[in-house]
Chains A and B, each alone.
Chain A
Amino acid sequence: KNEVEQSPQNLTAQEGEFITINCSYSVGISALHWLQQHPGGGIVSLFMLSSGKKKHGRLIATINIQEKHSSLHITASHPRDSAVYICAVNPRRGGSEKLVFGKGTKLTVNP
Protein backbone atom coordinates (compact mmCIF):
# COMPACT_ATOMS: atom_id res chain seq x y z
CA LYS A 1 0.00 0.00 0.00
CA ASN A 2 1.29 3.45 -0.87
CA GLU A 3 2.09 5.58 2.15
CA VAL A 4 0.82 8.67 0.33
CA GLU A 5 -2.36 8.63 -1.72
CA GLN A 6 -3.63 11.52 -3.78
CA SER A 7 -6.98 12.16 -5.39
CA PRO A 8 -8.00 12.74 -8.02
CA GLN A 9 -5.27 11.44 -10.34
CA ASN A 10 -6.42 13.76 -13.11
CA LEU A 11 -8.46 16.91 -12.89
CA THR A 12 -9.76 19.15 -15.66
CA ALA A 13 -11.27 22.52 -14.81
CA GLN A 14 -12.45 25.66 -16.52
CA GLU A 15 -10.64 28.90 -15.87
CA GLY A 16 -11.94 30.55 -12.74
CA GLU A 17 -13.05 27.37 -10.99
CA PHE A 18 -12.12 26.51 -7.41
CA ILE A 19 -9.83 23.46 -7.32
CA THR A 20 -9.28 20.98 -4.49
CA ILE A 21 -6.66 18.25 -4.49
CA ASN A 22 -6.58 15.77 -1.64
CA CYS A 23 -3.77 13.85 0.02
CA SER A 24 -4.02 11.07 2.60
CA TYR A 25 -1.09 9.40 4.29
CA SER A 26 -0.77 6.36 6.49
CA VAL A 27 2.31 7.07 8.62
CA GLY A 28 3.22 9.51 11.35
CA ILE A 29 4.86 12.54 9.83
CA SER A 30 6.89 15.52 10.89
CA ALA A 31 5.83 17.60 7.87
CA LEU A 32 3.86 17.49 4.64
CA HIS A 33 4.90 19.21 1.43
CA TRP A 34 2.92 20.32 -1.59
CA LEU A 35 4.99 20.56 -4.74
CA GLN A 36 4.28 21.62 -8.30
CA GLN A 37 5.89 19.82 -11.23
CA HIS A 38 5.95 21.74 -14.50
CA PRO A 39 5.42 20.10 -17.88
CA GLY A 40 9.18 20.32 -18.46
CA GLY A 41 9.77 18.28 -15.30
CA GLY A 42 11.07 20.88 -12.84
CA ILE A 43 9.72 20.73 -9.27
CA VAL A 44 8.85 23.76 -7.16
CA SER A 45 7.98 23.71 -3.47
CA LEU A 46 4.63 25.34 -2.76
CA PHE A 47 4.08 24.67 0.94
CA MET A 48 5.54 22.83 3.88
CA LEU A 49 3.01 22.17 6.65
CA SER A 50 3.04 20.51 10.02
CA SER A 51 -0.30 21.87 11.25
CA GLY A 52 -3.17 24.16 10.38
CA LYS A 53 -3.32 26.15 7.19
CA LYS A 54 -1.07 28.20 4.94
CA LYS A 55 -1.95 30.63 2.17
CA HIS A 56 0.14 32.02 -0.64
CA GLY A 57 -1.63 34.08 -3.25
CA ARG A 58 -4.42 31.95 -4.74
CA LEU A 59 -3.10 28.76 -3.13
CA ILE A 60 -4.25 27.45 0.24
CA ALA A 61 -2.99 24.30 1.94
CA THR A 62 -4.56 22.69 4.98
CA ILE A 63 -3.63 19.71 7.07
CA ASN A 64 -5.50 17.62 9.64
CA ILE A 65 -2.91 15.63 11.57
CA GLN A 66 -5.47 13.50 13.42
CA GLU A 67 -7.14 12.42 10.18
CA LYS A 68 -3.83 12.16 8.29
CA HIS A 69 -5.22 14.28 5.50
CA SER A 70 -4.23 17.43 3.63
CA SER A 71 -5.86 19.47 0.91
CA LEU A 72 -4.49 21.92 -1.62
CA HIS A 73 -6.95 24.51 -2.89
CA ILE A 74 -6.55 26.82 -5.84
CA THR A 75 -8.94 29.74 -6.05
CA ALA A 76 -9.79 31.41 -9.37
CA SER A 77 -7.84 28.83 -11.36
CA HIS A 78 -5.95 29.91 -14.46
CA PRO A 79 -4.48 27.98 -17.39
CA ARG A 80 -0.98 28.72 -16.05
CA ASP A 81 -1.90 26.60 -12.99
CA SER A 82 -1.86 23.54 -15.27
CA ALA A 83 0.77 21.22 -13.83
CA VAL A 84 1.17 18.09 -11.73
CA TYR A 85 0.66 18.74 -8.02
CA ILE A 86 2.48 16.38 -5.73
CA CYS A 87 1.97 15.67 -2.05
CA ALA A 88 5.02 14.40 -0.15
CA VAL A 89 5.61 13.63 3.52
CA ASN A 90 8.55 13.46 5.92
CA PRO A 91 7.83 10.19 7.78
CA ARG A 92 8.58 10.47 11.48
CA ARG A 93 11.04 7.57 11.61
CA GLY A 94 14.20 7.91 13.64
CA GLY A 95 15.27 11.27 12.28
CA SER A 96 14.66 10.40 8.64
CA GLU A 97 14.89 13.42 6.39
CA LYS A 98 13.67 11.84 3.19
CA LEU A 99 10.42 12.70 1.45
CA VAL A 100 7.94 10.01 0.45
CA PHE A 101 5.99 11.15 -2.59
CA GLY A 102 2.49 10.60 -3.85
CA LYS A 103 1.89 9.87 -7.50
CA GLY A 104 0.68 13.37 -8.21
CA THR A 105 -2.49 14.97 -9.52
CA LYS A 106 -2.40 16.23 -13.07
CA LEU A 107 -4.37 19.46 -13.30
CA THR A 108 -5.45 20.95 -16.60
CA VAL A 109 -7.17 24.33 -16.55
CA ASN A 110 -8.85 25.25 -19.81
CA PRO A 111 -9.41 28.86 -20.86
Chain B
Amino acid sequence: EPEVTQTPSHQVTQMGQEVILRCVPISNHLYFYWYRQILGQKVEFLVSFYNNEISEKSEIFDDQFSVERPDGSNFTLKIRSTKLEDSAMYFCASSGAGGSRAGELFFGEGSRLTVL
Protein backbone atom coordinates (compact mmCIF):
# COMPACT_ATOMS: atom_id res chain seq x y z
CA GLU B 1 0.00 0.00 0.00
CA PRO B 2 1.29 3.52 -0.76
CA GLU B 3 2.52 5.38 2.28
CA VAL B 4 3.39 8.82 3.55
CA THR B 5 7.04 9.15 4.53
CA GLN B 6 8.49 11.67 6.95
CA THR B 7 12.03 12.75 7.74
CA PRO B 8 13.70 13.04 10.12
CA SER B 9 12.16 10.55 12.51
CA HIS B 10 13.70 12.41 15.43
CA GLN B 11 15.35 15.83 15.63
CA VAL B 12 16.91 17.50 18.62
CA THR B 13 17.49 21.24 18.36
CA GLN B 14 18.37 24.22 20.50
CA MET B 15 15.74 26.81 21.34
CA GLY B 16 15.72 29.57 18.74
CA GLN B 17 16.97 27.38 15.91
CA GLU B 18 15.09 26.82 12.66
CA VAL B 19 13.77 23.36 11.92
CA ILE B 20 12.42 21.90 8.69
CA LEU B 21 10.35 18.73 8.80
CA ARG B 22 9.88 16.94 5.51
CA CYS B 23 7.11 14.79 4.18
CA VAL B 24 6.50 12.91 0.96
CA PRO B 25 2.72 12.46 0.61
CA ILE B 26 1.08 9.76 -1.47
CA SER B 27 1.69 10.68 -5.08
CA ASN B 28 -1.86 11.18 -6.39
CA HIS B 29 -3.20 12.87 -3.26
CA LEU B 30 -4.33 16.47 -3.38
CA TYR B 31 -4.81 17.47 0.25
CA PHE B 32 -1.95 17.74 2.71
CA TYR B 33 -1.91 18.32 6.43
CA TRP B 34 0.33 18.80 9.40
CA TYR B 35 -0.79 17.74 12.86
CA ARG B 36 1.12 17.67 16.10
CA GLN B 37 0.89 15.72 19.34
CA ILE B 38 2.53 16.98 22.49
CA LEU B 39 3.58 14.06 24.69
CA GLY B 40 0.60 12.69 26.60
CA GLN B 41 -1.91 14.94 24.84
CA LYS B 42 -4.29 14.56 21.95
CA VAL B 43 -3.42 15.17 18.33
CA GLU B 44 -4.01 18.77 17.19
CA PHE B 45 -4.54 20.21 13.74
CA LEU B 46 -1.94 22.70 12.50
CA VAL B 47 -2.58 23.37 8.83
CA SER B 48 -4.12 22.05 5.64
CA PHE B 49 -2.78 22.69 2.15
CA TYR B 50 -4.52 22.35 -1.20
CA ASN B 51 -3.80 23.60 -4.67
CA ASN B 52 -0.47 25.05 -3.58
CA GLU B 53 -1.84 27.19 -0.83
CA ILE B 54 -2.92 27.01 2.80
CA SER B 55 -6.63 26.21 2.94
CA GLU B 56 -7.02 26.28 6.71
CA LYS B 57 -4.81 26.83 9.74
CA SER B 58 -5.26 26.65 13.47
CA GLU B 59 -4.44 29.21 16.15
CA ILE B 60 -1.27 27.24 16.86
CA PHE B 61 -0.01 27.91 13.34
CA ASP B 62 1.33 31.39 13.97
CA ASP B 63 3.94 33.40 12.09
CA GLN B 64 6.80 31.17 13.17
CA PHE B 65 5.34 28.30 11.15
CA SER B 66 5.26 27.96 7.38
CA VAL B 67 4.55 25.21 4.88
CA GLU B 68 5.75 24.65 1.36
CA ARG B 69 5.39 22.20 -1.45
CA PRO B 70 8.55 23.17 -3.30
CA ASP B 71 8.81 20.51 -5.98
CA GLY B 72 5.51 18.70 -6.40
CA SER B 73 6.50 15.78 -4.19
CA ASN B 74 7.82 17.10 -0.88
CA PHE B 75 5.67 18.92 1.65
CA THR B 76 7.62 20.72 4.35
CA LEU B 77 6.86 22.33 7.70
CA LYS B 78 9.29 25.02 8.82
CA ILE B 79 9.49 26.34 12.35
CA ARG B 80 11.54 29.52 12.23
CA SER B 81 12.60 29.99 15.83
CA THR B 82 11.82 26.98 17.94
CA LYS B 83 10.52 27.25 21.49
CA LEU B 84 10.52 24.66 24.23
CA GLU B 85 6.78 24.23 23.79
CA ASP B 86 7.26 23.19 20.16
CA SER B 87 8.58 19.85 21.41
CA ALA B 88 6.09 17.34 20.05
CA MET B 89 5.51 14.62 17.48
CA TYR B 90 4.62 16.18 14.14
CA PHE B 91 2.52 14.14 11.76
CA CYS B 92 2.12 14.73 8.07
CA ALA B 93 -1.01 13.37 6.40
CA SER B 94 -2.48 13.35 2.93
CA SER B 95 -5.81 12.47 1.38
CA GLY B 96 -7.18 11.99 -2.09
CA ALA B 97 -10.30 13.36 -3.71
CA GLY B 98 -11.66 10.25 -5.35
CA GLY B 99 -11.89 6.46 -5.22
CA SER B 100 -13.07 4.16 -2.49
CA ARG B 101 -10.89 5.82 0.16
CA ALA B 102 -11.66 9.44 -0.73
CA GLY B 103 -11.33 11.73 2.26
CA GLU B 104 -9.52 9.13 4.35
CA LEU B 105 -6.30 10.44 5.83
CA PHE B 106 -3.03 8.58 5.43
CA PHE B 107 -0.51 9.50 8.12
CA GLY B 108 3.24 9.35 8.17
CA GLU B 109 5.10 7.75 11.08
CA GLY B 110 5.78 11.16 12.58
CA SER B 111 8.81 13.33 13.28
CA ARG B 112 9.64 13.73 16.94
CA LEU B 113 11.01 17.21 17.66
CA THR B 114 12.82 17.87 20.92
CA VAL B 115 13.70 21.48 21.69
CA LEU B 116 16.32 22.00 24.41
Contacts and interface: CB of A to CB of B under 8 A. Distances in A.
Nearest to B91: A43
A99 interface: yes
Given A42-B109, A97-B31, A86 B43 contact: yes
Interface string B91-110: 10000000001011111111
Contact of A44 (B31, B48, B107, B112): B107
How big is chain A's contact interface, by range?
A: 20 to 34
Q: What's the dominant secondary structure at chain A's contact region? A: strand
A103 B110 CA distance: 18
Contact of B45 (A31, A33, A99, A102): A99
Contacts of B75: none
A98 interface: yes
Contacts of B58: 98
A24 B65 CA distance: 32
Interface in B1-56: 31, 33, 35, 37, 41-45, 48, 50, 55-56
B25 to A, nearest CB: 14
